[in-house]
Amino acid sequence: MNIRVVIVDDEPLARLAVKVRLARRGAFELVGEFGDGASAYEGIVALKPDLAFVDVEMPGKSGLDVLAALPPAQRPMAILLTAYDGFAVQAFELAALDYLLKPVDDERFDEALDRAQQAFPYRGQGRAAAPVTPALRSFSVRVGSRTVLVPVADVERIEADGDYATLHAKGKTWLVRERLHNLAMQLDPRQFHRVHRSSIVRLDMIAELSPLTNRDAMLRLRDGSVLRASRSYMPALAEALQHLNKTSDL
């Protein structure tokens, strides 16, 4: 069954960019597009799409206004699009699947679509649900003729290495025959977060975050490692760290 999609954005070129990318993925079917909040609200109510790409800021009724006005049972899964990074909290309050900063690169767009496909079977009563992550507890690593199981709880960060990934765990490194993109979809987002196209970090390993002028950030980990966090991943990372701090205070 295809995932039925609408696009809500007041910029025709932005809608076209989403349409072109969607056309590459056969699991998604575009059923409508809207250039303002009022028509978007009416269209979503009438079409009942599964997924909506929503521009956060539009003249008149904003994308967030449209989603907030819909009853939870009628609210589609949402992927928010914005040129600004100050809407992360509202995005997660509305159960948005992802939050993409414009201009959106292809990898982040595909990652958002992967989240939608993962969440789609678990939508309940028409309400957007958070992606359900498989219970990955350990990595199977080949070492010569042996298979070593590396507990996920021991992994501090993961770095891309072509079609492979390198696990960093308790001072050791392990090469896994899996692309970083695939690993990101299997890990619990409450514990691990992708911070760059080439790296995933365990959230509680982050000791310091220093913003840069281009909206990237430098992360200093508890083991002394320093990683760059890309601006595309910063809104979701900031929200995840805020949530982690709240839960640790309980």
Q: In the beta sheet, which residues pair with residue 51?
A: 5, 77
- Tell me the C-alpha distance between 78 and 36, whole Å: 16
Q: How far is 174 from 50, CA to CA, in rounded Å?
A: 39
Structural domains in the chain plus CATH codes: 3-122 (3.40.50.2300), 138-249 (2.40.50.1020)
Q: What's the average model confidence in pLDDT over 1-9? A: 94
pLDDT tens digit sequence for 170-208: 999 999 999 898 888 788 877 898 899 899 999 999 999
Give the tens place of pLDDT for each residue, 216-249: 899 999 999 999 998 878 877 877 787 777 666 6
Computed over every residue of the chain, the mean pLDDT equals 86
Q: Could you tell me the strand order of the sheet in which 206-211 lies?
A: 206-211, 217-221, 226-229
pLDDT at 46: 95
* φ, ψ dihedrals at 224, nearest 5°: 95, -10
Beta strand pairing status for 77-82 and 51-55?
A: parallel
> Cα-Cα-Cα-Cα dihedral of 72, 94, 243, 56, to 10°?
170
Least trusted range by pLDDT, from 54-68, 145-159, 180-194, 236-250: 236-250
For residue 219, how many other CB atoms are within 10 A of its CB? 21
Question: Checking DSSP bridges between strand 77-82 and strand 98-101, what pairing results, if any?
Answer: parallel
Portion of the chain with pLDDT greater than 70, in percent: 88
If we measure between CA atoms, which residue out of 205, 193, 204 comes closest to residue 235?
193
Q: Which amino acid is at 194?
A: R
Location of structure tokens 């508890």? 222
Mean pLDDT (whole number) for 109-131 = 68
Provide the whole-model pTM: 0.63
The answer on pLDDT for 132 being more than 70 is no
Is residue 250's pLDDT more than 70? no
For residue 168 the two structure tokens come to 């960093």
For the chain, where are the E strands, in sequence order? Answer: 3-8, 28-34, 51-55, 77-82, 98-101, 138-143, 146-151, 155-161, 164-169, 172-176, 192-196, 199-202, 206-211, 217-221, 226-229
